[in-house]
């Protein structure tokens, strides 16, 4: 009689668990809403780890995608700030020129948007073209060498131009006095530093 009662109670418990599984359809629960486990401690399931399975391993929430910050904007360097001037028939850097190059180097050092620099030398139209090209080269090289001691970016002498009557930036043709013309042409005796920026 006792044996029969135990079997009947077991069948009743199984029936209750089965009925609960039919409604839950994922994990089997007993009549106290507890999860039924096998002898190994694993959940008894009617489906294999469905999305709403309470016994399924907990999934970690996807980590937010962290986008790299955009590169800092390149500094706006005016043409005047990156241009130095020279005395007539001279390739030496004046105190004013080195002061301007120091300020330029500081601006570049504080920026991560500048990749390299090129240096372009110019001369005025007094004298022959071949001489002016060589003088322009010397001026550009003087600026490049000075910047190389101040900057960690590559610098190069990109081009050399001896300004003549066609490309001159000054209006001095009407001046006849030599010294006055030399003074007037001072804007043509220069070196410009040009930068390559990150895209």
User: Tens digit of pLDDT for each residue in 111-147?
Assistant: 877 888 889 999 998 888 889 889 999 999 999 999 9
Average model confidence (pLDDT) across the chain: 77
Q: Please give the CATH superfamily to which domain 83-197 belongs.
A: OmpA-like domain (3.30.1330.60)
Q: Residue 22 pLDDT more than 60?
A: no
- Whole-number Å distance between alpha carbons of 49 and 52: 8
Rounded distance, CA 159 to CA 80, Å? 19
The C-alpha atoms of residue 82 and residue 148 are separated, in whole angstroms, by 15
| The pLDDT value given to residue 37 | 75
Report CA Rg, the chain.
42
Compute the average pLDDT of residues 162-171.
64
Number of Cβ atoms within 10 Å of the Cβ of 40: 5
Nearest to 139 by CA among 80, 197, 188: 188
Count of residues in the chain? 199
Q: What is the pLDDT of residue 82?
A: 92
Place of tokens 């500081």: 106
Question: Pick the residue with more confidence: 197 or 70?
Answer: 197
pTM value?
A: 0.61
DSSP secondary structure of 17-69: HHHHHHHHSSB-B-TTSPBPB-TTSPBPBSSSS-TT-TTSPPPPPPPPP-PPP
The domains of the chain are located at 1-66, 83-197
Across 29-33, 85-89, 156-160, 178-182, least confident range: 156-160
- Cβ–Cβ < 8 Å for 57, 73: no
């Amino acid at each position: 009689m006792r044996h029969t009662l135990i079997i009947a109670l077991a069948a009743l418990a199984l029936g209750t668990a089965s009925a609960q599984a039919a409604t839950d359809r994922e994990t089997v629960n007993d009549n106290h809403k507890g999860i039924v486990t096998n002898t190994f401690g694993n959940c008894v399931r009617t489906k294999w780890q469905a999305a709403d399975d309470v016994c399924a391993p907990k999934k970690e929430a996807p980590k937010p995608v962290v986008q790299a910050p955009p590169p800092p904007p390149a500094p706006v360097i005016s043409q005047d700030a990156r241009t130095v001037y020279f005395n007539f028939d001279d390739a030496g850097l004046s105190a004013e020129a080195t002061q301007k190059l120091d300020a330029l180097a500081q601006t570049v050092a504080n920026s991560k948007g500048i990749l390299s620099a090129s240096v372009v030398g110019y001369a005025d139209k007094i004298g022959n073209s071949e001489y002016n090209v060589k003088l322009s080269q010397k001026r550009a090289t003087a600026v490049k060498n000075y910047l190389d001691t101040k900057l960690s970016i590559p610098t190069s002498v990109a081009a050399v131009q001896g300004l003549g009557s066609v490309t001159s930036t000054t209006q001095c043709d009407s001046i006849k006095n030599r010294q006055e013309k030399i003074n007037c042409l001072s804007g043509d005796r220069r070196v410009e530093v040009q930068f390559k920026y990150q895209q």
